Each structure stands twice: as structure tokens, then as C-alpha cells.
Structure 1
Amino acid sequence: MPEDIGTIINKGFKTWVRNLKISTPFVLNSIVGGIISFFFFALIGLLLLGPEFESGVDPTLLPPEQLFSIMGAAVLENISTVLLLGLIFYLLVTFVQAFFTAGAIGMAKKAAETGDTGLSDMVNAGKINAFRLFLVSVLMALLALVGIVFVVPGALAVGDLSLFLDNPEASLRGAGMFSLGILVWVLYLLILNLSLSLVGYALVVDELDPIEAISMGLRVFMGNKLDVIILWVLSLSLSFVASYAQEFIGSDSGFVLILTTLFSLIVIAPLTAVWWTRLYLTKTCRNLYDHTELLCDPNEFMNNNRGF
């Protein structure tokens, strides 16, 4: 019998406490992503400021205004290269994230079904599902960009942005349409994120193709809208708490920034992954581990009951 949302949250929390190692994929993803970002921005910096170094000028000694002016001109001169590098960077980071996200879901699935998980589950789930989850991530990003059509009429009505800034009253109607378009786009993104929130879990848990995963994720969402909305709001609220904690505690403190980042990686991300995985598993009628019914060792429990 499928669990209600209260049971999912309660048992999911206990599963997370028992398997704190589920945070490992998120920590590794942050580290690898940071390394890739460092090399990317270093490469972009060399591309944009390389001519200044060759001419004997030290860009670090230039005033910020002049430095930004040089970088802006360099971007325009190398716009195709910058866009290509940006696309490669996005695809690489997305693939790395897909691998570790698939690994985290695989660990959460194993923990929900047997009570325990290990890093081998992360590696296996990542290897099997990374590419398909990567394709789903790119597809969902494209679906999000489709919403730009809501902004186009307002942008066309506004016309020349410089003229609008000089005389806003001349295009007040266009500004209203533009603002309304942005609002509709944001609403579209929220609905899209909510309705597709189970797609990644369907793909990894059932090892589905991207289109099958989207179909299955939507089907489970439509059959359990209230539970999904509650868990979505809870997950979003935890993310907001982590995001704004630094501002309330001390925005200038590097220690607070490190602390809130670690809290997000070690607590919020793995805990919500366990919740979402358990929700998908129970709503698709899977047999899940229950510490109140099973012994500490699930294998021992199965061996003891084979004779019945």
C-alpha cells in the first residue's frame, strides 16, 4: 500500500540518518564542478586578456572601469569562441551533474529498499544512467527556454531599449506587456519544474529512456499531485532557508558561506533526494525497507522467513 506524505517524510528522514554517505555524490559534484569552472574561467580570462599580457600591460593594475571595457571589447571580438566555450562548459557540467545525481538516486533507491547503501551503488547507478539523465536535463532546459515566447511580444512592443530608457512613458504599454511576459514565463517555469519533478527519479529507478521517463514522471505526478506539491514546497523551502541563512547570520563572513554550503550539500540535497526517491518508489507500489518490521540486517530477515 502506498505511503502517505507524512510517512514518506518520516521514514525518509530515518533512512537518511542511517545512510549519511548519500551526501557523497553531492559533495563530489560540487568539487568536480568547481574544478571545471576554475579552468573554464581561467581559459576565458586568458582569451580575453591575453593580448594585454602580450603587450606588456598588467591587467591587474588597470582600473576596474578600463578592465571591464577591455573585456567587453574582447568578448565582442571573440563572441563565437566565447559562445562555443560556454556551450561546452554547460554540457560538461551538466553531464558531471547527471552522473552524480544518478548516483545519489541509485543510493537512495538502495537505501529505501534494503535499509543500507554504499558508494558502489553510486558508481553503478551513475554509469548506467548518466548519459540518459544528461539528455533529459538538456531536454528540460530546452523546454524551459521555450517559455521565452511569452516575453517576445512585450520586447517587440518596447522596441529600442535605449529610447525606452530615455522616455519610458512613450512605451508604457510595451513595458506592461514585457513585465507580464516575464511573469508568465516565471509561472511557466514553476509549473514545468513541478510537473517534471519526478522525471529524473523515474529514469534512474526504472532505467527508462528519456521520453519514457518524462511520460512516467508525469503519470505519477498526475496521480499524486497533492503529495508531490507538498514535497516540492518543502524541498523549495529548505533550499530558500539555506540560501538566505548567510544573509541573516552574516553576509560578509566566509566561514558562514562555507557552513551554509556544506549544510546544503550534506543535509538538504541528500535528504530531499531520499524523500523524492521514496515518494516515487511507494507511489509505484515497490516494497520498501521498514525498520519497525525488518531486523537490522535485511538479509538475515529474508533468510529467517524463507521457510514460511
Structure 2
Amino acid sequence: MHEEFGTVLNRGFKTWVRNLNICIPYMLSSFISLILYLLFFVIMGLLFFTSSTGTIIDPATLSNEEIFAMLWGGFSKNLGLSVFLLLGVFLFAAFAQSYFTAGAIGMAKKASETGDTGISDMLVSGSKNTFRLFLAVLLTALILLVGIIFLVPGALAVGNLSALVENPEASIHGMTALVIGVILWTVYIVIVNLMLSLSSYALVIDELGPLEALSTSFIFFMNNKLDVFFMWLFTVGLVLINNYVGELAGPGNNLVAAVTLFIPPAVLQPFTAVLWTRLYMTRKGRKLYNPSELLSDPDSF
């Protein structure tokens, strides 16, 4: 059943409103990630701000120069442990996020097919797809990192960074090449994100392997360029609007800052997950429910 882009937005919105519980996996993912990163910064703080005698030093009693010197000294002494902790937190957070993302997509799939979903759908989909989605996330990250080659010419042209700080005018051409490299890498990231934007949905909905999901997303993008671009633009636009509202309120407004921080996992992520799921399924010819038909059915109440 093929639906036009406007129909996907309309019916996807009604599906989301009927199934607000799709926010649960995203809320849990955000909470776990917050705990992990807080724990990481506490451990790093203990490593960096602990003196040789074992006592913890209060950063408020130090000058900026002393804080920077202590941070650098702590980082140098604990380089291996710092990298290990950073990598461990990143991988564990990515794995946990993969579980909840797979669960959310599973809920969005069930809601798009039948009109309703529950936590059981999250548990089933998460347990079935977590590891494969985790591998797909790592592959996508590696593909994005390939774009770092755009920075190599500029980095070579700049040469010694300390000399650049002392005499910025001496490496103006190198800086120009570096800026161009950053722009090219940014464009590369946007293009890759567009082409692979449906890899997670393909993996969960069709239960594909990581490489197959990436190739399916690429093929889907090539066959539906405008729809994928408009959906990606719509998704990014919602995030930018939310961030703009937070900045407009000012850094001193803690209430607005908390609300804008809460909105993405509670509203934006589940809503756009339903839209992406419906777009993928309708372009694949899957049978989806029509919210207006379900509402007009007396047995549905």
C-alpha cells in the first residue's frame, strides 16, 4: 500500500498520538546514558583531581592555570586508563542504546501495522535485534570516520600546531586547507547520514544483518531520494526548533532548559521513529492500518 509523503506524516502523527508509550524506550535510553556519563566524569574527576597523597583537591581552590596543569598531568599519568574508560563507556552506551532503539522501532512497526503497541513489543524486538543493530551502528561510525581523510591535506599543510598558535599568519594557507577539509567532511557526514538513515529500520523491520541493512538503506534511498530527504529535513528541523527555543529562552531559564532537554526522548524521537517506520513500510508495499478507519470502527472503542 503506497502512501504519499503528506499521508505518511498525517497517519504517522495519528499513530504516534494513539501510542505515546513509544517514548518509554527512548526515555530509558536517555536515563541510562546520563547515568553512564555522570559515572564516567566522576571517575575521571577522581583520577585528575587526586593528589599524590591520595587526598581529593577542590577545583574551586585552584586558579585556572593550576586546574589546566592538574588536568593535563592527570590525563598524562592515566592515559591508558582514560582511553579504556572512554571506550568502555562509549561501547556500553551504544549497546544499551541499540537495545532501546530496536525496541522502539519494534513498537513503531507494531503500531503502524495494527494501531496499537505495548512494552512487550519493545522487549521482544530489543532482545532479537540488539546485537545486529549494535554492529550496524559501529559500521556506520567507521564509515563516518573514513571522512577524516579530508582533513589530512590541511593538517599536513598546517604542520606544527604550537607554531600555529604562536604565529597564526605563518600558516594561513594551511588553515584554509584545513577549513575546506572540515567543510568537505561535514558534507560527507550529511550524505552518509541520508543514505544510511533507514538502516536501523530496515534491520529491525526486516530482521536483516548489519551489512544487508546498510545496503538496503542505500538502495531504498536511491529509489526514494526526495521522500528520504524531506523526512530527514523534517526530523532535523524539529531538533533545530527545539534547540532554538532553548537558546531563545536564555541560559538562565532552568525550566525551559529542562523542558527542551526532555522533549527529544519524550516527543521528537518516538514521533519521528513512527514516521520513518511508516515511510519504510509503505514504500516496501506493506499493509498498514489507516487511523481513520480504526477510529470509525465501533469495535475499536
* Interval containing the TM-score (normalised by the shorter chain): over 0.9
Equivalent position of 1:2 in the other structure = 2
Equivalent position of 2:165 in the other structure = 165
**1:90 paired to 2:98:** no
**Cα distance in structure 1, aligned partners of 2:287 and 2:163:** 64
Size of the aligned set, in residue pairs, is 300
Q: Percent identity?
A: 47
Greater alpha carbon shift after TM alignment, 222-231 vs 238-247:
238-247
Equivalent position of 1:246 in the other structure = 246
Equivalent position of 1:121 in the other structure = 121
Gaps of 5+ in 1: 302-308
Gaps of 5+ in 2: none
Alignment deviations for residues 229-276 of structure 1 (CA, whole Å, 9 cap, x no partner) = 000000000011112211102221211111112222211111100000
Look up the SS of the partner of 2:293 in the other structure: coil
- CA-based RMSD of the aligned residues comes to 1.8
**Cα distance in structure 2, aligned partners of 1:55 and 1:265:** 39
Q: CA deviation at 1:68?
A: 2.7
Equivalent position of 2:48 in the other structure = 48
Greater alpha carbon shift after TM alignment, 148-157 vs 45-54:
45-54
Equivalent position of 1:104 in the other structure = 104
Q: CA deviation at 1:185?
A: 0.4
Alignment deviations for residues 8-56 of structure 1 (CA, whole Å, 9 cap, x no partner) = 0000000000001111111111111111112111111222223356157
Q: Aligned AA for 2:151?
A: V
**Cα distance in structure 2, aligned partners of 1:197 and 1:58:** 45
Greater alpha carbon shift after TM alignment, 261-270 vs 62-71:
62-71
Q: Aligned AA for 2:195?
A: S
* Contact 1:52–1:58 under 8 Å retained in 2: no
Alignment deviations for residues 38-82 of structure 1 (CA, whole Å, 9 cap, x no partner) = 211111122222335615754453334312321211101211111
Distance verdict in 2 for CA 1:172–1:295, change over 3 Å: closer
**Cα distance in structure 2, aligned partners of 1:202 and 1:66:** 51
**Cα distance in structure 1, aligned partners of 2:53 and 2:131:** 40
Q: Aligned AA for 1:214?
A: L
Greater alpha carbon shift after TM alignment, 240-249 vs 225-234:
240-249
**Cα distance in structure 1, aligned partners of 2:174 and 2:58:** 45
Look up the SS of the partner of 1:54 in the other structure: coil
Instruction: Report matched runs for 1:157-306 at 5 Å.
Output: 157-294=157-294
**Cα distance in structure 2, aligned partners of 1:64 and 1:222:** 52
* Contact 1:53–1:59 under 8 Å retained in 2: no
